[in-house]
Amino acid sequence: MAITNKATIIQWNDEKCFGFAVANGVKYIVHLNSLRNLTRSPRIGDTIVVYSFGKSEKGPRIVSGVLESSMPGMSAEDIVRKLGKPYSVKPRKSSFSGFVLAVCVLLALAWGAWTLAGKLGFVPPKIGIHAQSSENVSQYTSRDEVARYICDNGYLPPNYVNKESGVRLYESKTGKSFVRWNFNPLSTLGVMIGGDSYGNREGHLPPGDYREADVDYFGPNRGTKRLVYSSGCNIYYTGDHYKSFVKMKF
């Protein structure tokens, strides 16, 4: 079987047992049970050797694949030859894989019960400003749509990663050492950068716990346009890299 592609994990949620991976600029959802021969939990920056892609109600997804790290010292071609074609034989699950899947089932049931209880008024659902994203594969890039998403949900859209994750993703995807942000993360990696703390050292904004997020990528790098936000729809826009700010109104 010819290798379909490789994908790089850009987000992973151990509690919900799914994440997102990028291949050729397209963002795919990937679930734990789509990964064969697991020896550990997936991590941001891991490479998936993909057997097949597909589609779901949530968007593009990886149907079957294996983490390169679970087969150390082997090329992608060797991995395919060793494991065979997908679904040609029933893959033997390691004890770790079975344990992780069992934990995921329990966590999923607990999450469902918690969410239902919140909707019924028994337990107030907790929505934090740094909460994990849902299975939404839409790309949010512009000032207004990103600000609205933050205001409505209390956290950044799912196509955002922080600087540390962006650096790991860049090095994994390009094979180069990160030097500086002299590239456009959206066109190069398929993600936007955001979620890191903003110190407000110059005191342009009222005191608070702020985070920052890039918006409106149009040039060869990250540009100068940012949102700076805190809880309660408290969001400011700067188009000149923190020299001046305008408060967003909703």
Coil, helix or strand at residue 103: helix
Residue 148 φ then ψ, to 5°: -65, -40
Find the length of the chain. Answer: 250
Q: Let me know if 212 is a catalytic residue.
A: yes
Amino acid at 166: G
The token duo for 33 is: 């049970």
Residue 212 φ then ψ, to 5°: -125, 155
Q: Per the residue annotation, which of 15, 77, 130, 241 is the catalytic one?
A: 241
Coil, helix or strand at residue 131: coil
Nearest Cα neighbor of 64 from 25, 26, 98, 90 is 90
Residue 170 φ then ψ, to 5°: -60, -45
Provide the CA 192 distance to its chain's centre, in angstroms: 10
Give me the residues paired with residue 198 across strands: 210
Q: Let me know if 130 is a catalytic residue.
A: no
Q: What is the DSSP string of 194-211?
A: EEEEE--TT--S-SS-EE
Catalytic annotation, residues: 212, 241
